[in-house]
Structure 1
Amino acid sequence: MSLQINNLTKKFGEQTALNNINISIEKNEIIGLLGPNGAGKSTLMKSIVGALKIDEGEIIFNGKNITEHQIEAKKKIGFLPENNPLYLEMYVKEYLQFVANIHKIPDSRVDEVIDLVGITPEKSKKIGQLSKGYKQRVGLAQAIIHQPDLLILDEPTNGLDPNQIIEIRNVIKEIGQQKTVLLSTHIMQEVEALCSRVILIHKGNILQDCPIDEFKGKFGSLEEAFTNYTQTEVTGINQ
């Protein structure tokens, strides 16, 4: 798996959401994508999966430009957006069979993924009847059902209770042993528990892209490092 983002710029009117972004990912790892609200994280993720048109620059996935090879790229990328769009009137297993059919993969994979994300007791229920934690698991299941090379997760544990958070983290950790995961989160404990590398984005610019220990550096915690990097950058602009 390889992902190369070269000079990526995305604007919405006069606002620059991403400013000349460059990222290189070559191996299976779990990468924490950090940044304050409005930093450009979701724009970056949506650009990678092809949900947003690229204004300038290019994204090369497994050696091919995603703009020119959209279908091929999407076959190898899994995406769980922050709002987790699901068909609430469909039954869990029915929905996952529907996703499997889109990807043209055997129904046997449906049972595998149901077991992997821990929704076996809920598989005969309507998605609309599920708790938020189980809905997140269904969203995660659809993102991994086709065994993508790259899994992109936008705030996957947002709004979950502590037990659900631990369970989802364990699933992500297991997936990250074989695949590359790009994980957006505001929860620093999540980054510490899961990630080997951190990419910090702020106001559309990458401030840090380094191993987690290097990111933490001289600071007492990841929170302290995050605050220092983002506030220093803001102060520097204001001066």
Structure 2
Amino acid sequence: MGRLVWDEYCLAGTAKYLLDDPHPEGKIGVFVRGCDSRAINRLIQDGEIKKENVYLIGIPCGGMKDPATGKTAKKCEDCTHPNPIVFDTMIGEKVTQSDKPNRFNSVNELEKKSADEKYEYWAKQYDKCIRCYACRNVCPACNCRECFVDQYRVGWQGKQNNRAENQFYGLTRAFHVAGRCIECGECERACPMDLPLMELNRKLIKDINELFGPYEAAVDLEEKPPLGTYKLEDPEKFM
């Protein structure tokens, strides 16, 4: 009989695995930290899973460790919800929560650059991209039944690995998850080329907060994403 081990090196998110069994015969038990519980909410809001089909075992998280360095994992440094938001039972005591106001520091530095400097910065990043789609595969918000890059009949995405196609993929994916990103950092963790994908995601989060007011995706199941709703008082400066 094998042992189930859960320790500070269990970095990977757990929620996305639920999509491997969309029609379970019984309840599926899932261990969830704060980020995992938001991912569960993301999948519920997107109609991918039903809450009654899962049993959530909450685990307060003081920060996971990077197996390569033994230090706090980068994805955990700016975590705003270390405690599970939704759970059926909780293991352990809740940990201290912080709003992490510094999580936009890298975005603020990026915004200081000129348009040409920004383009050069991201061009260098996407020159490294090998389009392995690891970021898409681990992202809870990337849960389309058929991704646009796999739609061969339509041909939205070229198969060449070059800067233009890589940028098209990266920007399309970023806008697809805009307002829905739960800031779990799984995309950046899984990227074998170390692209700073959360800088792009957080730039969009920052812009959405400034345009529509403070919003954290998948914290409240009843609160709909700003870009998924329409109000008469919505800003129209771009029109």
| Greater relative contact order, per chain length (Cα 8 Å cut-off, separation 6+) | 1
Provide TM-score, normalisation by structure 1.
0.28
TM-score normalised to the size of structure 2? 0.28
